Structure 1
Amino acid sequence: MVVTVFIYGGSNSLLKTGWTAGLQEDFPPHSVVNHSIGATTSVTAIYQMLTNAKIRHEPGDVVVWEYALNEANHITKGLDPEIALGNTERFIRECARRELKLAAAVFTPLDQEMAEERMPYYSMLHALFQHYGIEIFDVSQTWRLQNDVPRVPRRLYRNKAHYADDPEIRNFIIAGVKTALGKAQRPMNVSPLRCGPGELHVELAKTGERFENSRISALVAPINYRMEFSRKGAVVGLAALVHPNSRSGLHVRLDRRNRVESMANFSTAGAKSMGKPIMKVYSAEAAKNVTWDVIPGDVLDIGPLNSAGLLYSETSSRGELKRLDEVQPASFIGVVMELSETD
């Protein structure tokens, strides 16, 4: 049986001369498929797994998860680690449902590597993967143990968020990932720690203009859009385009029988340096720390921002706008849901 390796991670897994390129050299053609997207977290991997028609997993295929560095950076900027870990657990459980084997490649940003001690997120992450019997290759931990040193040296980082383009660290990562792949297992059938037991589901815009790049193809809803739910669960992710050099955002309101249940503003304002739009799947739970529990008949009302100010943002989007573009671009793509067991 031909086994395919699927990689879900951040920009360290996208570098043309990085570890993923080297890994592909050791496998048959087309047997390593890279679905990484930079500046994102595990909830983006969930969205991709559920929506990308080009992703054809077969039972027994192997998935590499590489989002620790990105999630650590998001946590530094305010994301609750429990929310980050909850989405990682949802990804783990989705792999189990699809009968996929899983291995974790755990990277560390420069500031955490140089710190006296890494943030508690890392020990919590290890405990989560161990709960499911998942093999972990932690670059920092393994380097320290093998070399009897207190940390990975600064010279092996290109910048605060990326390892250096250096054969020493690249080959070390490739070897560690290969070892983890050889020990990869399907996640064990155990009770969840930080998420619900329900299946994951996406609700996507049904009208709009299509956006495509090398990673995704999706309808982007008109600037004013209403989405009615037919299933019971909780919205855990909101997918939207972030536009370069824009001053824009989405005002999102959840209505139930003409009563507002939840409401938040999400940034779609990117920096000029982005060059082109990117897709973000925001951790919906983190926006004002509100819950987005839905029942059939609930309506999500999405529109442009009507006033400047503070809004929910993550890496690559701006969290404060002093003024708005006169015409704000269409951005909403859909939501990721965790369904209720009683759905």
Structure 2
Amino acid sequence: MSDVPSLVIIGGSNSLLRNGWVDQLKKLHPEPERVVNLSIGAATTAMGIYRLLSSTDLPPNPVIIWEYALNEANYSAHHQPVGVLLYHLRWLFEICARRGYPVLPVLLYNKAEATDEELHPYREKLASLLKRYQLKPVDARRFWRLRFAHLTPDRLYKDNPHYATDTQFPRALAKLVLARAAGAVIPRDTKPGNGLAGRDLRILAPSDSDARAFSNRILSCDIFPLTRSREIQMQGQLLACFLISSPNEAAIVFRSARGRRGPFSAQIGASESGPALQLKHLLLWNPQNPPLEVDGCLTITPRQKPLRGPIVQHTMAWRGPPKGEAEADPSRQGGVIGLLAEVGI
């Protein structure tokens, strides 16, 4: 085995592009089988946590490459609180610290950010958090301005959120990431205070017997269709829900003896590009509605016709109640695959 570290990438759609920077990273690594890409597009760090905690074939002693800054800037621009996004990122750093995984943040930017047409408050708060954890990122905007200023923004980017893959920039960025990965450090919170000690994260799922197996090129899992209520026994706080979503899902409500959250739309847009079934997440709390406390039974209830319009988060949609096509054809039906819960240890 070479001295080049194993790499695990968790990031958005730029990390999934054919001939993009991660493809180039695999070509540059002396043992490309030790580059594991767990990225999921149109998501945030919460999805990265799900992928990391549910993965069973991580290489030994990897460096975790985090590339969700661009996505989270977009989520924050669509009313997702920055505090929620960065709390999940703190948890990612905590998980990596407990496992002894170094972390290298790779900061990508929307085209409008790279040209300073857009400024997201998320970026400044992210920079403060990385400094707090003593993590020095690879900054793609700075790298472009220093080394690739001859590329115009229109040449550097395919569209606003995606870099072009037919320039030398993705390969050069991959070279920089590979060089910096060798010096990546384990996150260390320099301001622990009332930190995350005494708590942990768990991926939980129903135990019902009517789960349906789902598999694609990214993951294999069990789907629990949103055709009836589901129960999960747990003690802790509910942070997020992971779904296989389609354009024809119900709204869902999460309820415990301590309260409820929702309804949330579980639908994706009918015109959204990509497959009819897609891995999505719902972030189930905000500063005004803290994580739902559960001490026993959590019930997930589908609402075919919610009394009020459901909460529609970024990348989701609501076209009204399901039309019934999914029940007639289960292959078009999604459902819950897991929950992210913060629990005591």
TM-score, normalised via structure 2 length:
0.86
Look up the match of 2:216. 213
Once the 2 structures are TM-superposed, how far is the Cα of residue 117 of structure 1 from its aligned partner? 5.8
Cα RMSD (Å): 2.7
Identity over aligned residues, as a percent?
Answer: 24
Look up the match of 2:76. 75
Cα separation, 1, equivalents of 2:265 and 2:193: 28
Report the AA paired with residue 84 of structure 2: I
Task: Give the 3 Å change call, closer, same or farther, for CA 315–293 of structure 1 in structure 2.
Answer: closer
| Worse overlay, 135-144 or 234-243 | 135-144
| Contact 2:255–2:298 (8 Å) recurs in 1 | yes
Task: Give the 3 Å change call, closer, same or farther, for CA 251–323 of structure 1 in structure 2.
Answer: closer
Cα separation, 1, equivalents of 2:41 and 2:194: 25
Residue aligned with 2:104, SS: strand
Instruction: List alignment gaps of at least 5 residues for structure 2.
Output: 327-332
Look up the match of 1:262. 261
Look up the match of 2:26. 24
| Contact 1:47–1:281 (8 Å) recurs in 2 | no
| Contact 1:267–1:312 (8 Å) recurs in 2 | no
Task: Give the 3 Å change call, closer, same or farther, for CA 192–321 of structure 1 in structure 2.
Answer: farther
| Worse overlay, 178-187 or 306-315 | 306-315
Once the 2 structures are TM-superposed, how far is the Cα of residue 67 of structure 1 from its aligned partner? 0.5
Cα separation, 2, equivalents of 1:38 and 1:158: 16
Report the AA paired with residue 46 of structure 1: I
Residue aligned with 1:90, SS: helix
Residue aligned with 2:177, SS: helix
Cα separation, 2, equivalents of 1:297 and 1:177: 45
Residue aligned with 2:128, SS: helix
Look up the match of 1:12. 14
Look up the match of 2:51. 48
| Worse overlay, 39-48 or 116-125 | 116-125
Residue aligned with 1:180, SS: helix
Cα separation, 1, equivalents of 2:36 and 2:80: 29
| Worse overlay, 180-189 or 43-52 | 180-189
The Cα offsets for residues 126-173 of structure 1, whole Å up to 9 and x where unpaired, read as: 221121122201111333345689x97232100011001233321331
Task: Give the 3 Å change call, closer, same or farther, for CA 147–212 of structure 1 in structure 2.
Answer: closer
Residue aligned with 2:295, SS: coil
Once the 2 structures are TM-superposed, how far is the Cα of residue 191 of structure 1 from its aligned partner? 4.4
Look up the match of 1:292. 291
Superposition pairs of residues 55-204 of structure 1, within 5 angstroms: 55-58=57-60, 60-116=61-117, 118-145=119-146, 153-192=153-192, 196-197=196-197, 198-204=199-205
Report the AA paired with residue 280 of structure 2: K
Cα separation, 1, equivalents of 2:86 and 2:193: 9
Superposition pairs of residues 269-288 of structure 1, within 5 angstroms: 269-272=268-271, 273-286=273-286
| Worse overlay, 64-73 or 164-173 | 164-173
Residue aligned with 1:103, SS: strand
Residue aligned with 1:165, SS: coil
Task: Give the 3 Å change call, closer, same or farther, for CA 141–193 of structure 1 in structure 2.
Answer: farther
Look up the match of 1:227. 231
Residue aligned with 2:234, SS: coil
| Contact 1:43–1:237 (8 Å) recurs in 2 | yes
Cα separation, 1, equivalents of 2:212 and 2:252: 20
1:33 matched to 2:3? The reply is no
The Cα offsets for residues 8-60 of structure 1, whole Å up to 9 and x where unpaired, read as: 1111011111111111112113011111111111100101111122x3253x3
Report the AA paired with residue 306 of structure 1: K
Report the AA paired with residue 271 of structure 1: A
Once the 2 structures are TM-superposed, how far is the Cα of residue 338 of structure 1 from its aligned partner? 1.6
Look up the match of 2:315. 316
Report the AA paired with residue 324 of structure 1: P
Report the AA paired with residue 25 of structure 2: L
Instruction: List alignment gaps of at least 5 residues for structure 1.
Output: none
| Contact 2:204–2:232 (8 Å) recurs in 1 | no
